[in-house]
Chains A and B, each alone.
Chain A
Amino acid sequence: MRFSGKAWKYGDNVNTDVIFPGKYTYTLTELRDMAAHALEDLDPTFATGVRPGDIIVAGRNWGCGSSREQAVLCLKAAGVGAIIAVSFARIFYRNAINNGLPAIVCPAAVAAIEHGQPVEVDLAVAEIRCPAGVFSFPPFPPSVQRILAEGGLIPYLKRVLAAERL
């Protein structure tokens, strides 16, 4: 899998309340509605400016706070191809993988990439290409790669359950 787009760069400890406000959690169910409110309380220009394949580049502890899965869904629905961060909060990390959104830990790339620069992520070779150079990251373990390849935990589980029925 390969994603390329523009970098949207943010800082440390970006929490799920600013990624997807809690007041919408039980009322917005359509993906396009979630996308329209992505990062609403952090960067009001994001939801209208983001293009398919764009990459979020973030500091430490991206996605801390609530377990709400819409924090991942709204970004994916908005077209985000991958998130590169210094580190992720653990529930956000699980939710990202489980919804087929690559969450990549690569502090060197985060330091090198500037807001608005073109970035390419190639999961097959575990590389990030940007104007400052090429950065490698540890490849995902096979179990995670299988979930990402199926587009998330639920499609993956569907396949596993179907195979069990045969």
Chain B
Amino acid sequence: MASPPPGGRPGAGPDGARPSGRSAARRALAVRLGLMAVPVAFFALFFGYPVATIVGRGLREDGRWQFGRAAEVLTSPDTLDVLWFTVWQAAASTALTLLVALPGAYALARFDFPGKRLLRAVVTVPFVLPTVVVGSAFLALVGRGGVLDEAWGLRLDTSVWAILLAHVFFNYAVVVRTVGGLWGQLDPRQEEAARVLGAGRFTAWRRITLPALVPAVAAAALMVFLFTFTSFGVIQVLGGARYATLEVEIYRQTAQFLDLPTAAVLSLLQLAAVAAMLAVHAWTVRRRESALRLVAAEHAARRPRGVGQWAFLWSQLLVVAVLLVLPLAVLVERSLSAPGGYGLAFYRALAEQADASSAFVVPPLEAVGNSLAYAAVATLIAVAVGTLAAAALTRRAGPLVRGFDALLMLPLGVSAVTVGFGFLITLDKPPLDLRSSWILVPLAQALVGVPFVVRTMLPVLRAVDERLREAAAVLGASPWRAWREVDLPMVSRAGLIAAGFAFAVSLGEFGATVFIARPDSPTLPVAVARLLGRAGEYNYGMAMALSTILMLVCAGVLLLLERVRVNRSGEF
């Protein structure tokens, strides 16, 4: 089908189009192509090209494709081990997250209690935390010399439980936001109607509420599976030598063994798996768009009644306290417990000039400034590219544009390590010699931020009633003016939220940055990882201190976002 002209007027069919109609349709197509040009160029240049190059380099030798080699890698026991671990830990993490978070989603959706807004914010903090920080926090809680180790000699860092718990910690918010957001807006009168028609309390829930929730639960489960499937930072910190996901293995093969062919095959394997998951996700999203009766969340929530409901609510608060707050509290505690008692010794050490034995050529504290500057630039790029993409995707579209939609989600799942390494080997010659340019880091980070921007902006843009634009046009506003007067004011809040997410994600980006950040200007996560990789109490303490700083910055950004959050603001 031809694309609708600007202002979404359904175009006259090719059979009856007059010259002016045809030119309008052409103009419309030109506008959309123009909007898409920048995002497409951005993704082609800074995503497709590096990834394709590195994969090609791994699979080609002497100008020929080495598919035999690929088959060898794919069928080797090592690869199958890694794949098996990647899949089962992701499945286990997803199941555990749903088990823990669904009751929490219910509590936040249906109950009204003091401090609910604060709780919503607290629950979301882990999601925007860098994976490295999450790793550090769990290391401080359950690792060697951690709190549990000191108290009871209990260590989980050698077991897979530390990884699973960290994944639950990280993804609790995904379930609460995606499922709870919908749950809170389901019209309770639907259930009441079923009750009046003779359904029992449970039957009404099973027949009315559950079917409405299933697509949201499926979507949330899929996102959690996707995030844990490609988990890197958490495993890198907590997995030790025993556990490796595909992403970790890609990193090892690339950075430690310099075995590019193996890394390339593993990258392709991950790409295929992620593409399949995204296809399923797109399908569940379409299912979710089925008409549901939604009401403002405030109308659906009420005070808990009776001992049972209060006990349930408190149990959920306890889960949040133990699972989400405790690790972060321990992280802060560790960062403050200097050799001579509590103090800021580790923080002071961060600011000191590095000596020969140090992992750094600059004081680690400089990483804070680097990170903020990089993230700010990355946010600008992500918001610009993401907004253009969202604007191009707003209007009803054919399969071509839907494919573009899926393309935008890919960076969420494609090996960041591959992207980072791809940057190094492709963007190093004219006309794009960026190897020594600082812009390389923000570009890589923006790549991860764009999907968040699009996911946040798109639902809001799509919710703008087409007829409002038409009303503006009839009153004399040109298409561009109508967009500025009607769309922009409505999406500016969503834009702010998108920017915040992009900022937080950029701050925490690790897999790609670790390759391309220059030694003299590390970012916070890179600095934390470097410190954790070194022995010594001071390095450990400094890692905790830096993680704490990073956590505070991210939490601060998030709390600012909570203040501007609107009801319809995307899925994350």
User: Do these two chains really belong together in a complex?
Assistant: no
Residues on A facing B (Cβ under 8 Å): none
Residues on B facing A (Cβ under 8 Å): none
